[in-house]
Amino acid sequence: MSNLLINIFYNVERDWLSCHLFGLVRKVEPIVGRPGTMVWTFKYARNYGAMQKKSSQLTPLTLAMAYPFRHKAVDVFLSSGDKRMFEWSAKGQNQCHENVTHTTDGLINPVSTSDLKNWRFRERRLCEPFSLETEKKPRSRFSLKCNGSFPEALYTTTDDYNDIFTVNFNDSCLATYIKHCCHDDKPVPNVIHYVWFGDMELKYFNFLSLMSALRFQQPCLIIVHGPTLPHGPYWDHFLHLAPPIVHVARERPTQAFGQPLFAKEHASDLMRIEALMEYGGIYLDFDELLLRPLHPLRKYPYTQGHEMHFSMGSQLVMAARDAPFLRMWQVLYKIVKQVQMYYGYRDDYRRIWAYNALWVPNTLAKKHPDLIHVEGYNFTRPSWKNVKLIFDANYDWSSNYGMHMYARWYRRPIDVTSMRTLNTTVGSVSRYILLGNKELCINT
């Protein structure tokens, strides 16, 4: 193929690219996991030396072009050898998307949709059946193969519900896969992170959180960090849906850079920061529910919401890998004494239980508003001060992205049967997530 002349222009102020080629541009697409790189497909690539001749139309040409340019045109000459050099990026993108699957077949699609303007719950509908899988049928198991230069997602069939793909923290294969396969044009990858401590059974609200992530976010990966994984009927049912799930094996930290961590909640505070620093994505507490997709917020490098006016909520945190706000927050764990006067960091958790997790990021947000998008109260309301609105009333959550359920305070029996007729916020969000409709069910 003869050389081609391409002029690429980048306007940093308006953040768009324009390209003039002696031919026609068919489409321009970002390469997954490679920020600042686009795939250009030209409908007709013409010979530069014969650009005036209509008969010089050739076959479509696809090439990848990085654009670290600022207010200038760059002439790029590509020969057929150069074309082959650029093709690997587009090939890798296709390989990712062929192997990544989102399991939504097991989710209920209701006949009617919820009326999010009506919160009276005066009528009941005939709801679709929902029951836990009691038999451990063969399921699809997700794993990664990283022997070659590009990570590959594999799905195999197994009847072993304890066989979960496991890697260590800082695993380069997992990080590479997320970088190339879980990114689009947004800085935050579509990956969900949880932290789990203890050899314990997955409870109802934990299950509800997982199901909400699957229904509304359809993540590229769900990663559970901790020394062990949950078990029990709810966990088995979720695994039966075959989500792409990974266990990052980590022991619970007992100290943070010389400062003791006595409670598991404080260990989790540190682990969620480290998880997002290493991989990027969306962290959820195991009793935080999603109520609509978070994709519109993934365009921000870092997002957190308020729990109270004086504190952030860390039940839902969204971050690009190595986000500056996260890095600054992590530094506070390293140099406690030096920053106490500036940020008010406390190494005595007994005075204010969640100071480092909630108050410190609020202070950081005020001092560095350019590093964070604050999503109001749309992640956690009602707050812990108004928990009765969750347990005993029907709260209008139509504007919420998520809701923290404060599961450890809920002492009433709840399961996939009783939630069908439970006329409270707990019932409405349960039905919305599991049945696809918030309305009360006819008791059958």
Write out pLDDT tens, residues 348-401: 444 555 667 776 888 888 889 999 999 999 998 999 899 999 999 999 999 999
341 residue type, one letter: M
Say if strands 152-158 and 221-226 run parallel, antiparallel, or are unpaired.
Answer: unpaired
Listed ranges 74-78, 296-300, 322-326; the one with the highest mean pLDDT: 296-300
pLDDT band at 276 (very low <50, low <70, confident <90, very high): very high
pLDDT (0 to 100) of residue 19: 34
Distance CA 432, CA 30 (A): 34
pLDDT band at 429 (very low <50, low <70, confident <90, very high): very high
Distance CA 78, CA 422 (A): 65
Beta carbons within 10 angstroms of residue 263's beta carbon = 10
Nearest to 442 by CA among 174, 132, 127: 127
Q: Where are the domains of the chain?
A: 4-97, 100-108+135-390
Nearest to 225 by CA among 209, 240, 245, 207: 245
Looking at every residue in the chain, the average pLDDT score rounds to: 76
Q: Note whether 41 and 61 are within 8 A (CB).
A: yes
Q: Is the pTM of this model over 0.85?
A: no
Distance CA 270, CA 322 (A): 14
For residue 110, whether the previous peptide bond is cis, meaning omega lies within 30 degrees of 0, is no
416 residue type, one letter: V
Distance CA 365, CA 57 (A): 55
Supply 326's token pair: 């996260």
Mean pLDDT value of segment 272-297: 95
pLDDT (0 to 100) of residue 218: 94
pLDDT (0 to 100) of residue 49: 31
Query: What letter would DSSP give residue 237?
Result: H
Asked if pLDDT for residue 340 goes beyond 60, the answer is no
pLDDT (0 to 100) of residue 444: 62
Mean pLDDT value of segment 203-224: 96
Distance CA 291, CA 287 (A): 13
Domain 100-108+135-390 CATH (choose: 3.10.20, 3.30.160, 3.40.1350, 3.90.550): 3.90.550
